[in-house]
Structure 1
Amino acid sequence: MAASEDEEEFFDAPCDFLTPHYHAEGDSFDPSQFDYVPPPAEVTILHFGSDAVSFGLTAHVSPVKYKIQMDYTSDTHKGSIKTEDCGIVEVEQLIPGTEYTFSITRIGENGNQSTTVSLFACTDPAPPVKITVSKLSSESLSFHWDIPPGAVQTYIVRCCSEGETGKTLATHKNSVTFDSLRPGVCYSLHVSTQLQNGRISKPAISSVKTRGLHCLMHHTVRK
């Protein structure tokens, strides 16, 4: 039936009328038509150490070239990096034993940004750098260590000899004394840092030998 003068005729538009086209190779391409930038998806933590964390991201397949911006903040430290949308992002030069908020944003060629994806991660605590024996006798020894970076809650200290269980204690100080040791015995000293969330670092290890009784007697005679 023919349309009247007051009626307008409507035709079905093709389904891709409002959809940006992926042009074939060699065709001109205008990235501004891709206003929507998809957010990073399936972000996972691949590895974390005492001063670095790496993330795995599912790259978005598109003729548009995206970049990834990673912002990271803690109570005392913040920074930002920008990298290609290559699937792996590594953040370095972090503070050991520190909880960070990582915010990840995808950025298009036209400057448009996606919504931000946030994750929380805590770097591993760092062990003490150096153990120094300050006092040594046939039955006791005292030692201290350098305070490592990060928010240390306590130190887990262990003193043991071969074939023995040894002694273990927790302290808030960076020094300790062990008594009731055996003369002339080599002892291993282990010091680990522990965070408030319970995570414990790898131990710093040193060894020392208590003075023998014959050395003590010889020293007394010489006096």
Structure 2
Amino acid sequence: MGHGHYPILPIPVPESDEGLWGGEGVIKGYKESKPYTKKKVLPRHWIPHLWTPKLKTAILYSEILDKHMQLLVTERALRLIDAAFGLDYYLLNTPEIDIASKLGLRLKQQILISLAEQNYYTDDEERKEYIKQKYARFVIPLEEAEWVGLDLNEACRKQQDIEDNTQKQPLKYQFEQQLLKKLETGEAPEEEDVFKPQKSLFGEQLLGKFMNPIARRVRGG
């Protein structure tokens, strides 16, 4: 009979969004109340325990943003950054679900937006061309880069803002604005604002075939 592989999943905590943990997290389990000894007669007791990763402060540098940042990281995160040859490569090559940090996703969003707008090293053309060629395969359109790293609520608010800004204005409001501008400048003649009664053709079209013969008889008589 085979045994299934059940990976130990870390518990998500808000503190992980404030640094780079490299996929580590809080693990819930049980441990013995005291170390095991052969002469121990009483039964062993298991008590719940939480294992937390060891955090430390590190100075990390982003080549694209040209900034040094002091972040809370784990040893695993530092190893992953070193294996990726820098913070920029680590964030760009790692999927969002594996970064598992709002801070890391915000940095990735800023890096992608900077690559899309090419607003890096504006005073050094040689350095700018070097960065452009080095990270060319990570460039995506600005419209896509702005969505990277957003959670569900932020994405919904952003979509709502887009729909509100692109919503067509009813024509009555456009005509109202045009009329107000004409009245302010004096271009609109006063005759346009005076009500002019018009002859209704509804009754004539509806009852004309019955009333017209009677009218002709009256005129002929």
Shorter-chain TM range is: under 0.3
Structure number, greater radius of gyration: 2
Give the alignment's TM-score, normalised by structure 1. Answer: 0.27
Structure number with higher strand proportion: 1
